Amino acid sequence: ASGYDVTEEVISKRNSKQQLLNQQAYDLFMQAPVGFSLLLGDDHRIELVNHTALEFTGKNEDCIGKPVTEILPEVQMQGFSKFLDQVRQTGQSIHLKESKVMLDRNGIIEKIYLNIYFQPYYKGGKIMGILTIMSDVTDQVLSRKNAEELKERFETMANNIPNLAWISDADGSISWYNDRWYEFTGTTKEQVDGWGWQSFHDPKRLPSVIERWEKCIATKEPFEMVFPLRAADGSFRQFLTRAAPIRDKEGKVIQWLGTNTDITKQKEMERMKDDFMSMASHELKTPLTTIKAYTQIVEMNLREKNDVDSLALMKRMNSQVNKLTTLIEDLLDVTKMQKGKLVYNENFFDFNDLVREVIDYMQKTSGSHKIKIQLTGDITIFGDNNKISQVIDNLISNAIKYSPGANEIIVSTEIRDDGAVLSVQDFGIGILAKDRKKIFTQFYRVSDERQITFPGMGIGLYICTEIINRQGGKIWVESKIGKGSTFYVWLPFDHRNVVEPNV
Ligand code: ADP
């Protein structure tokens, strides 16, 4: 009897264990984050459906026992019932990926994207129904479609601009070019991917381009450079190339966006303008030199005749001729500078002597201002003393010109950092902070009403800057509006010893 009891116990234990497993499987099925349903019979009656599936479809448990075609008529119309029939007939499962489904959710038609499996359900070797498994992938599909749309819009835009454009990875290897690029170079994607762009450069210029590009990639600073690129027909054209780093949310550079703009025409125009300037100033110089010679002869004659009135006029004419000569010489200098043809004759010279010489000469021609000098140290400089005296002359002329209300200029020298500093201080109109850098560039003139009355072409300081840079030095200004300006020039004793010239 006791043996029988034990068996009973085992069986009941086994049964309750099976029950527990069934319960667990059922719970799992009901609570799964993917939609499950079991459809039975030829009319696909809903036998089981879990919460997620009900949520997808916006239905409730009332649908159990009814054919799915009746519950979701709109879905059946979209062709899904034919898949159900097919699975039942063939016994083969069907997988629909990112299938667009229009669902009537409580009266509102919504578009969602589902991954759906229709799996045949066998019992005793016979197909009894279909197990459907679906997961909602609407968010993924929409964000991917969004990204694709953005990409397409970007490419349409990039392919319709007149510039060549490209995108590189953070390491500088180019992964995308626009159509213009392929048209211009006459190549295909396979030929130029990665670092293939190098074959369209002038081999002579390529090293400097690579150097600059690698520097920008390392420092993450925008790239800008002008260089030639070879067209499909083998000819070279000049391009202004710019590239900007593209950063992610954390500020990390992920890509570079670059454009190449054909500036061959502009360059040609610039060259023609420079040629014209150089020719015009050259042609003007010859008759002017002759005029100067004649005025000297006329002046001598007038002195012999003691014609005081005419001599006074002659003196004024002379000073105007001198002004014209300086202007034309400045223009000639600029054109030579641009062609890199300004010749420097360098020697050791006494810097303070040179300053004194220039000031002596200038003091003679200026009645309005007293030029005070404070020269210190024993300064020997290696450089072109003529060009440097041109700088000093320019700074003092400006100091006089831009301080009409004052009567004093202070020029001083001192030794600093293996070189000499020259300062020219005036008590004139001053320079606004926003103009203090720009005045050293070509043709830049301050354009407010206080300045409008001063004559000039805006090239004096540009020439000074070029000369000082070429001599390895620096030029800068400190100024207070209404109080005056001080221009500084620092020159190394011997710029040949300066490893890194200050530019
Ligand atoms: P220019 O005097 O022929 O216009 P510069 O190149 O010598 O050309 O000077 C550029 C500009 O800098 C001038 O137009 C002027 O506005 C400003 N500038 C130069 N020197 C002074 C100064 N000492 N005080 C005030 N402004 C000055």
In a structure prediction context, what are the per-residue pLDDT tens digits for the chain, which is 503 residues long? 445 566 777 778 778 888 888 888 888 888 888 999 999 988 899 999 999 988 888 888 888 999 988 888 877 777 888 899 999 999 999 999 998 888 887 788 888 899 999 999 998 888 999 999 999 899 999 999 999 999 899 889 888 888 999 999 998 888 889 999 999 999 887 777 777 788 899 999 999 999 999 999 999 999 999 999 999 999 999 999 999 999 999 999 999 999 999 999 998 998 888 888 888 888 888 899 999 999 999 999 999 999 999 999 998 898 889 889 988 988 888 888 887 888 899 999 999 999 999 999 999 887 889 999 999 989 999 999 999 999 999 999 999 999 998 999 999 999 999 999 999 999 999 999 999 999 998 888 887 777 767 878 888 999 999 999 999 999 999 999 999 999 999 999 999 887 654 44
- CA–CA gap between residue 56 and residue 52 (Å, rounded): 6
Question: Given ligand 1 and candidates 429, 445, 486, which is best to mutate, with the most ligand atoms within 8 Å of its CB?
Answer: 445
- CA–CA gap between residue 192 and residue 473 (Å, rounded): 44
CA-closest residue to ligand 1 atom 14 = 445
Query: Please, which residues have CB within 8 angstroms of residue 112's CB and are 6 or more apart in sequence?
Result: 56, 100, 101, 103, 136, 138
Residue 445 alpha carbon, nearest atom of ligand 1? 14
Residue 394 alpha carbon, nearest atom of ligand 1? 7
Task: Identify residue 175 by its one-letter amino acid code.
Answer: S
- Give the pLDDT confidence score for residue 349 in this predicted structure: 97
Q: How far is the CA of 145 from the centre of ligand 1 (A)?
A: 59
Q: Pull the structure tokens for residue 200.
A: 């369209």
- CA–CA gap between residue 76 and residue 297 (Å, rounded): 112
Q: How far is the CA of 336 from the centre of ligand 1 (A)?
A: 22
Residue 256's beta-bridge partner residues?
A: 168, 245
- Give the pLDDT confidence score for residue 90 in this predicted structure: 92
CA 402, 405, 407, 412 dihedral sign is negative
- Give the pLDDT confidence score for residue 331 in this predicted structure: 87
Closest CA to 133 of 32, 270, 47: 32
Pocket of ligand 1 contains residue 460 by CB under 6 Å: yes
Q: How far is the CA of 298 from the centre of ligand 1 (A)?
A: 35
Q: Pull the structure tokens for residue 19.
A: 């029950």
CA-closest residue to ligand 1 atom 23 = 399
Closest CA to 136 of 100, 177, 166, 90: 100
What three-state secondary structure class fits 459? Answer: coil
> 0.85 exceeded by the pTM?
no
Query: Please, which residues have CB within 8 angstroms of residue 429's CB and are 6 or more apart in sequence?
Result: 402, 403, 450, 451, 481, 482, 484
Q: Residue with structure tokens 């699975």?
A: 87
Q: How far is the CA of 460 from the centre of ligand 1 (A)?
A: 8
* C-beta of residue 243 within 8 angstroms of C-beta of residue 258: yes
What is the DSSP secondary-structure string of 105-117? Answer: ETTEEEEEEEEEE
Other CB atoms within 10 Å distance of the CB of residue 257: 16
Q: Residue with structure tokens 């700074």?
A: 395
Q: How far is the CA of 480 from the centre of ligand 1 (A)?
A: 14
Residue 462 alpha carbon, nearest atom of ligand 1? 6
Per DSSP, 440 falls in state G
Pocket of ligand 1 contains residue 489 by CB under 6 Å: no
CA-closest residue to ligand 1 atom 11 = 445
